[in-house]
Amino acid sequence: MKSSASSALFAPDQPPLVAALAALQALPPAEPVPAVSMNATGRLLIIGEADVAIGWAERLAGQREVTVLALGTATSTVDPENDGNFAIFPANDVSLKGHLGAFEACWQVAGALQQASFDVVLDLSPRPLLNRVELPSGYLAAGRDPLDQALAIIDLLAFDGEFEKPRYVTLNERVCAHSRSKKAGCNNCIESCATEAITGFGDSVRLDPYLCQGCGTCTTVCPTGALSFQYPRVTDLGVAIKAQLKAFHAAGGLAPSLLFHSAEAGRKQLLAMQRAGKPLPNNVIPVETWSADAVGLDLLLGALALGATRIAVLGAGSHDLAPLRQTARLGQAILNGLGYTGDYLRIIDPENPEWLAELAAWPAPAAIPAGEFHLLADKRTTLEFVIDHLAKHAPTPVDAIELPAGSPFGTVAVSEACTLCMSCTSACPAGALKAAADAPRLSLLERNCVQCGLCANTCPEQAITLTPRLLVKDRRRERVLREAEVFCCTACGKPMGAAPTILAMIDKLAGHSMFATPEAKARLSMCGDCRVIDLIGNEKSTQAWEMTE
């Protein structure tokens, strides 16, 4: 996404900034993002108390196919075949779901369930049927205020015909850490979604592209990169940032800062400040993206590794700055842990009247040499490149960095209670825990661990603990967590499995009545074949051929 307003965000007599803008405009257009289509054919649903809802229905009946759900109205007082050229139904227990062009309403009439589909919905009920931070297009909850109702009608009348919007987010179910075998894992995206477009669906999540409004918070909080933002893609932003920073430096610019801002609210605020005589500082390059909430750790640290000195995100238009601030704290902890002194990352509250002055006075931290790699579509791979680059030039090389709770990096430890059943390896969505093929051995590839907790929740012995940290040294080397001898059949010597697993099984079964005798208890340590042979040869019970009438 190129910013058509970027040239107005700084004075045109600043050669480095002009060069950065020229480099952006010279880039070829990015590949179009897939879109989803919605079609509104004029089916309008009005929900509310009868007198108000019918009043608006009478005004709109000539322009739309209107249906009224009259709340709390007796059936005998409503004539569905009225002369107003619209349908009226008494309704109780009304529920609503869906999106523009495909809303599904359900209601009760005299104990019977009724349902129908509508294109747009005007909700005049005292409490909105949909209670979300971001409402779906085509739904307006105007309440009881006449002015709000009139303004809502104006907006709803614009929804007529076919509409398209980008598919803002893509989902890779293969690496989703939501659940495994009904064991809970990561719910970050579900908890942060402002439109309720993301719901749990088995071991993964389900993303409704029609409800998604593109805030992108889900992609920021996703630890595995299963959810990735597409409008614009990280790869496209990386190409643009890299070109602008190179042009800025080539034109003599020093210590460039990047200011990520949203395409609507952020641009509007920056242009208003420009008109008020408050332009951005000369060393700040504005970077426009659809939503500031979608600026994740890969972009924050990636932009620094590509040559930026400081990264700021203007939170105008954000639903909640908490995820952005948590991400910035994580990035700052990584940088400081590697010995990079100073303040590199900031999340700007747009309500702070002093933010522009604070941005201008922001002291430049220690410079980081620019890398030559590209930001990739895969979040974890991009972070691998970035961390390698930061570690290579780190002022203070370290083996590992302690991170705050909730970080998507960390280590796993197992206690002596581990029986090497390997259930944790099948639960791990990132391939961090591995079972050896040649011996009872559990190993960890820490660079893959996302700290989702699925291994700990799956472990039957509760032997696993997680510790957030970033391993810097030997990140690509597997580390053995637990290893044991092979338990062999006491009769024939055939390998039966990991010794802790077999011994734990024997210990649990030893008290059962079926294994009360020494002979029966001894069979627990035999393989299946030897157990049957011993049972036939030594069983003292009455045989079938010995039985008489």
What pLDDT is stored for residue 76 in this prediction? 46
Domain 37-164 is classified in which CATH homologous superfamily?
FAD/NAD(P)-binding domain (3.50.50.60)
Q: What is the pLDDT of residues 464-506, one digit of tens each?
A: 999 999 999 999 999 999 888 888 888 888 888 787 888 888 8
What pLDDT is stored for residue 5 in this prediction? 46
CB contact burial 58-81 (16+ within 10 A = b; e otherwise): bebbeebbbbbbbbebeeeebeee
What pLDDT is stored for residue 544 in this prediction? 55
List all residues 6 or more positions away from 392 whose beta carbon is below 8 Å from its beta carbon: none
Do residues 442 and 483 make contact, with C-beta atoms less than 8 angstroms apart? yes
Backbone angles phi, psi at 56, to 5 degrees: -70, -35
Do residues 129 and 47 make contact, with C-beta atoms less than 8 angstroms apart? yes
**Mean pLDDT, residues 316-343:** 96
Question: pLDDT at residue 509 above 90?
Answer: no
**Mean pLDDT, residues 155-167:** 95
Smallest CA-to-CA distance from 505 within 521, 519, 492 is with 521
Domain boundaries, the chain: 6-31+234-398, 37-164, 167-229, 410-483, 488-546
Do residues 266 and 314 make contact, with C-beta atoms less than 8 angstroms apart? yes
Q: How many residues are given for the chain?
A: 549
Better-scored residue on pLDDT, 403 or 530: 403
Better-scored residue on pLDDT, 111 or 234: 234
Return the CA Rg of the chain: 31
What pLDDT is stored for residue 94 in this prediction? 94
Confidence grade of residue 73 (pLDDT, cut at 50, 70, 90):
low
Round to whole Å and give the CA distance between 105 and 122: 12
Token pair 């012995």: residue: 461
Round to whole Å and give the CA distance between 39 and 119: 8
Cα 119 to Cα 38, 40, 43, 159, 164, distances in angstroms = 9, 5, 5, 9, 15
Round to whole Å and give the CA distance between 237 and 241: 6
List all residues 6 or more positions away from 466 whose beta carbon is below 8 Å from its beta carbon: 410, 411, 412, 451, 453, 455, 456
Joined together, the tokens standing for residue 72 give 């709390």
List all residues 6 or more positions away from 86 whose beta carbon is below 8 Å from its beta carbon: 57, 58, 60, 61, 65, 66, 67, 68
What pLDDT is stored for residue 13 in this prediction? 66
Q: What is the second-level CATH architecture of the domain 167-229?
A: 2-Layer Sandwich (3.30)
Q: What is the pLDDT of residues 511-528, one digit of tens each?
A: 777 777 787 888 888 888
Smallest CA-to-CA distance from 385 within 477, 326, 311, 301 is with 301
The lowest-confidence range among 75-89, 328-342, 459-473 is 75-89
Helix (H, G, I), strand (E, B) or coil at 106: strand
Round to whole Å and give the CA distance between 49 and 60: 17
Q: What is the CATH number of domain 410-483?
A: 3.30.70.3270
What pLDDT is stored for residue 9 in this prediction? 61
Percent of the chain with pLDDT over 90: 76
Confidence grade of residue 547 (pLDDT, cut at 50, 70, 90):
low
What pLDDT is stored for residue 2 in this prediction? 55
Q: What is the pLDDT of residues 414-441, one digit of tens each?
A: 998 898 889 999 999 999 999 988 888 8
Confidence grade of residue 4 (pLDDT, cut at 50, 70, 90):
very low
Percent of the chain with pLDDT over 70: 93
List all residues 6 or more positions away from 215 whose beta carbon is below 8 Å from its beta carbon: 134, 194, 195, 291, 293, 294, 318, 319
Backbone angles phi, psi at 293, to 5 degrees: -65, -20
**Mean pLDDT, residues 130-158:** 93
Round to whole Å and give the CA distance between 179 and 454: 7
Round to whole Å and give the CA distance between 378 and 398: 26
Q: Count other Cβ atoms within 10 Å, centred on residue 374.
A: 14
Round to whole Å and give the CA distance between 118 and 99: 9
- Looking at the DSSP bridge assignments, the partners of residue 248 are none
List all residues 6 or more positions away from 102 whose beta carbon is below 8 Å from its beta carbon: 38, 117, 119, 210
What pLDDT is stored for residue 470 in this prediction? 98
What pLDDT is stored for residue 79 in this prediction? 56
Q: How many CA atoms lie within 13 A of 172 on its CB side?
A: 17
